[in-house]
Structure 1
Amino acid sequence: MGSLDIQAQKNSEKAERMRANSALGRRRRWNMNKPLLIMFLPIAIFFILFKYVPMFGFIIAFKDYNFADGILGSPWVGFDNYKYLFQNPDTLGIIRNTLVLSALTVFVGFPFPVILAILLNEVRRSWFKRWAQTLLYLPHFLNWVIVGGLVLMMFSIETGFVNNMLERLTGSTYPFLFNEGSWITIFVASGIWKGAGWSAIIYLAALTSIDPSLYEAAGMDGAGKWKQILHITLPGLMPTIILMFILNIGNVMDVGFDQVYVLQNPVVVNVAEVISTWNFKIGLGSGQFSYATAMGLFESLIGLTLVLLVNGIARRSGRGLW
């Protein structure tokens, strides 16, 4: 019994030392990470105040909201707002427009930043690379009001540069901004022009993680630039590409407000009216906040579902976001 008591006492002392070392390790990690946590605190406060707290307002989607009663005092109506939305003949058209424009923006525009990053990575003259990057990044910093003005200046029927050239060549003009097909093309192209350069930065950063010795070995084996890009660059970029694709899929139902609102006009409203512009007109324009919130909540749920679906597919290949 004496030896058992001694062994138990030793085990107890060992466990006590392990707990003390663990507590000491936690204090050390806390002291080491304290500056980082202090730096992160404003970001956490921002997201809590402006991202999570406003989610409380989603209950307006299930109420007949009015200013007098406020969010909590307004009467509950359950799913009546959604019944109104989906009985409205315009709702399906608005959802269709949102999906079409978003899908075109994602699937047509998604490859351009990857292509730009690969092309810039292959440039060997530093001065040309710097100028090219500056010119490609510049549109990102322009407001959509400015970009919309540039688009109008280029494609206006009477004073637009494109129509002036077209009139000199063919003797006639074309209503680019008043034809549904050409309007969609201009919408997608202007979005690519504005955002592709800035989005390429992420892929340029990912390219720096690829081992240069792989290119040297491939070159010694006789692989040209195209084969190096195909078998080394693209596989090296694939985790970043999948991550960005999952994030972009989450915005399929969120085509954005600024671009559509600036470029749309009454003639192409059948293809240009999307959820964000409809919410603006119904919510702020007409004061029907319950309907606008109901549509916004529907949009968010569809986006969340798409993110979960695409991430689940990506996880099967071991490249999921979580």
Structure 2
Amino acid sequence: MAESAVLPKASSPPAQLHRRKSLLVRMWKARFIYALLLPGVLYFVIYKYIPMLGIVIAFQNYSPFQGFLHSEWVGFHNFALIFESADYGRVLFNTLYLNALQLAFAFPAGIFMALLVNEVRFSAFKRIVQSIVYLPHFVSWIVVVGLVYTFLTTDGFVNALLKALHLPQIDFLTSPGWFMPLILLEGMWKESGWGMIIFLAALAGINPDLYESAVVDGANRWKLMWHITLPALRGTITILLILQVGHVLDTGIEQIILMINSITKDVGTTLDYMVYQKGIIGADFSFSTAFGLFKSIIGLLLIVGANRLAKKVGEEGVF
């Protein structure tokens, strides 16, 4: 007779109770750490997860007077309207084009600035440069755009300088060809310094012995950067790039609202601005919610895909 298979014994209630008590004991010992964690958890629960209940209006013909419970259910009708819009193709192109410019120029700008600052050997000067470069991150968009208007209007400083040099004046703010470059340059000026700080933090973790050993072997500054500094940044660059890909349909709304006008509307209308026009100005809350849900799903799929691709090429990825 074959020996009977030995089945694993189920955990007895006393054992489960013991594990539960040990978990509670460990949580109590680390209660101050959990107290520090609590504000962040409450923030995400109150402002991120609870509002997700409002996603239901994406499937309704929502009326604020009837509320969630009594508004007409229309299923995926609002999602179909996204693709039936006559301007959808043009708006999608504007969005992807702007994000492509940001990935090609704005994203590497933080890396380039971090590499330059990292080569500075005078600590005091290095700190001053860091402070000056990342301070624009804390300036509001309305101030940034106000400065741009001051410099680039028809009678602004730049056109006055061109006139003094007997060069033709340029309508920067009303020329469709200048809209995307201005949006890109404003974003680079405002956010590149903040990206630089993230990469400098990653560079601070490099073992100085690696540089010393390479110098002994005869490596110059260029080879040090190419063979030690850049490989050390590869993981950080991969993670930030994956997260950036997830926002490929996001362009921000405040900067676009402040910069766009009737002349640049064709080249400046992005998906976020279209949602603002129809959802806020046109009070079509169901359409704007459906559009936001659609963008979130696409962003999630892109992040998952980029993360898997990063792992296939040997990087850690985000998760």
- 1:85 is matched with which residue? 82
- 2:127 is matched with which residue? 130
Which whole-Å deviations, capped at 9, do the CAs of 1:274-305 have from their partners, x for residues lacking one?
12222222112111111111111111111111
- 1:1-322 alignment, distance < 5 Å: 26=23, 29-157=26-154, 159-316=155-312, 317-322=314-319
Q: Which amino acid aligns with 2:141?
A: W
Separation of aligned partners in 1, 2:204 and 2:21: 38
Q: Which amino acid aligns with 1:231?
A: H
**Percent identity, aligned pairs only?**
38
Instruction: Check conservation: 1:283, 1:291, Cα contact below 8 A.
Output: yes
Separation of aligned partners in 2, 1:263 and 1:125: 39
Which whole-Å deviations, capped at 9, do the CAs of 1:60-104 have from their partners, x for residues lacking one?
111101111112211111122222232221122222211211221
For structure 1, the 5+ residue unaligned runs are 1-14
Separation of aligned partners in 2, 1:263 and 1:19: 61
Query: Under a length normalisation based on structure 2, what TM-score does the superposition of the two structures give?
Result: 0.90
Instruction: Check conservation: 1:106, 1:252, Cα contact below 8 A.
Output: no
1:25–1:58 distance in 2 versus 1, CA, 3 Å: closer
Q: Which amino acid aligns with 2:111?
A: V
- 1:10 is matched with which residue? none
Instruction: Check conservation: 1:249, 1:303, Cα contact below 8 A.
Output: yes
Stretch deviating more after TM superposition (138-147 or 254-263) = 254-263
Instruction: Check conservation: 2:235, 2:315, Cα contact below 8 A.
Output: no
SS at match of 2:165: helix
Query: 1:18 offset after TM fit, Å?
Result: 9.4
Separation of aligned partners in 1, 2:302 and 2:252: 17
Stretch deviating more after TM superposition (223-232 or 32-41) = 32-41
Separation of aligned partners in 2, 1:101 and 1:33: 46
Query: 1:179 offset after TM fit, Å?
Result: 2.1
Query: Under a length normalisation based on structure 1, what TM-score does the superposition of the two structures give?
Result: 0.89
Query: 1:175 offset after TM fit, Å?
Result: 1.2
Stretch deviating more after TM superposition (15-24 or 231-240) = 15-24
Q: Which amino acid aligns with 2:164?
A: R
Instruction: Check conservation: 2:98, 2:251, Cα contact below 8 A.
Output: yes
Query: 1:33 offset after TM fit, Å?
Result: 2.1
Separation of aligned partners in 1, 2:106 and 2:317: 22
1:19–1:47 distance in 2 versus 1, CA, 3 Å: closer
Separation of aligned partners in 2, 1:164 and 1:70: 55
Q: Which amino acid aligns with 1:86?
A: F
Separation of aligned partners in 2, 1:20 and 1:90: 61
Query: 1:24 offset after TM fit, Å?
Result: 7.6
Q: Which amino acid aligns with 1:140?
A: H
Instruction: Check conservation: 1:61, 1:294, Cα contact below 8 A.
Output: yes
Separation of aligned partners in 2, 1:47 and 1:41: 10
SS at match of 1:267: coil
Separation of aligned partners in 1, 2:141 and 2:315: 38
Instruction: Check conservation: 1:133, 1:197, Cα contact below 8 A.
Output: yes
Larger helix fraction of residues: 1
Separation of aligned partners in 1, 2:76 and 2:285: 15
1:138–1:318 distance in 2 versus 1, CA, 3 Å: closer
Separation of aligned partners in 1, 2:221 and 2:289: 52
Instruction: Check conservation: 1:154, 1:160, Cα contact below 8 A.
Output: yes
Separation of aligned partners in 2, 1:24 and 1:247: 39
Query: 1:204 offset after TM fit, Å?
Result: 1.0
Stretch deviating more after TM superposition (32-41 or 147-156) = 32-41
Q: Which amino acid aligns with 2:188?
A: I
Q: Which amino acid aligns with 1:227?
A: K
Separation of aligned partners in 2, 1:238 and 1:51: 31
1:24–1:288 distance in 2 versus 1, CA, 3 Å: closer
- 2:5 is matched with which residue? none
For structure 2, the 5+ residue unaligned runs are 1-11
